[in-house]
Amino acid sequence: MSIPDDDQFEKYLKQFRPVAGEPLMVKEKAEARSRPLVFAACAAVAAAIVLAVVMSVLVHKPTQPPGPTEEASTTRVSMEEFGNPPPLTIASANALLESAPSFKAAIDNMAFQQESKPISEGRYSLLALLSKEDVKQ
């Protein structure tokens, strides 16, 4: 733009009016991002601490199989909820073999009672109902 003289230039400058500045978008975005990042970092640190505590407890736990009371209390929920038998180990399998009147009785008991245990008291799978229906026929 060409400016002929000082008056015109002054006149031109007076046309400018101060305008309230808008907040800088870049800075705001950076702040908006940084907060969750800080949050996530804190959460990760907290999770790591919790995980470390849990792992240290598990690592220092004795490796012997749980006793009958402990086993019952730790497996009861899953067994009642899903009808799954407790996990079988060499030790627990041998205990079953020894406590049954015969090896055959131990195996029979596992095959036909624990594996097909009802989901919970009074609740049976569809297959269980179909099976009952077959018996009535």
Partner 1 sequence: MKILRFAALMMVSVAIASSNATAQNLKPSDNAALRYWSAFAQIQDAGITQEQGREAHAILDGTAPYDDSKYRDIIEKNRPAVETMIRGTALPYCDWGMEFQMGPNAPVDYARKAGFLGRLNVFYAFHLLIGGDKDGAVRALQAGLRFSHDVANGGTLFATVVAQGLIVAHLQAAAGFQKVAGLSAAQRAALQKSIDQLGQDGLDWAGAMKREMEVLPTHDAQEAAARDKIAASYVRLLNNPGTLPELQQTISNAPKQIADLIPNPKRVLDQKQDLAEKLQQTRTLLQ
Q: Under the rule (CB under 8 A), what is the footprint of partner 1? A: 63, 65, 83, 85, 87-91, 93-94, 97-98, 102-104, 106-108, 110-119, 124-125, 127-128, 130-132, 134-135, 137
CB of 100 vs partner 1, minimal distance in Å: 10
CB of 33 vs partner 1, minimal distance in Å: 45
Give the nearer residue to partner 1 in terms of CB position, either 15 or 63: 63
Give the nearer residue to partner 1 in terms of CB position, either 36 or 118: 118
CB of 105 vs partner 1, minimal distance in Å: 10
Give the nearer residue to partner 1 in terms of CB position, either 11 or 117: 117
Buried b (16+ CB within 10 A) or exposed e, 92-119: eeeebeeeeeeeeebeeeeeeeeeeeee
Query: Sign of the C-alpha dihedral, residues 63, 69, 74, 76?
Result: positive
Buried b (16+ CB within 10 A) or exposed e, 17-51: eeeeeeeeeeeeeeeeeeeeeeeeeeeeeeeeeee
CB of 92 vs partner 1, minimal distance in Å: 9
Give the nearer residue to partner 1 in terms of CB position, either 1 or 90: 90
Greatest extent of the chain over all pairs of C-alpha atoms, in Å: 119
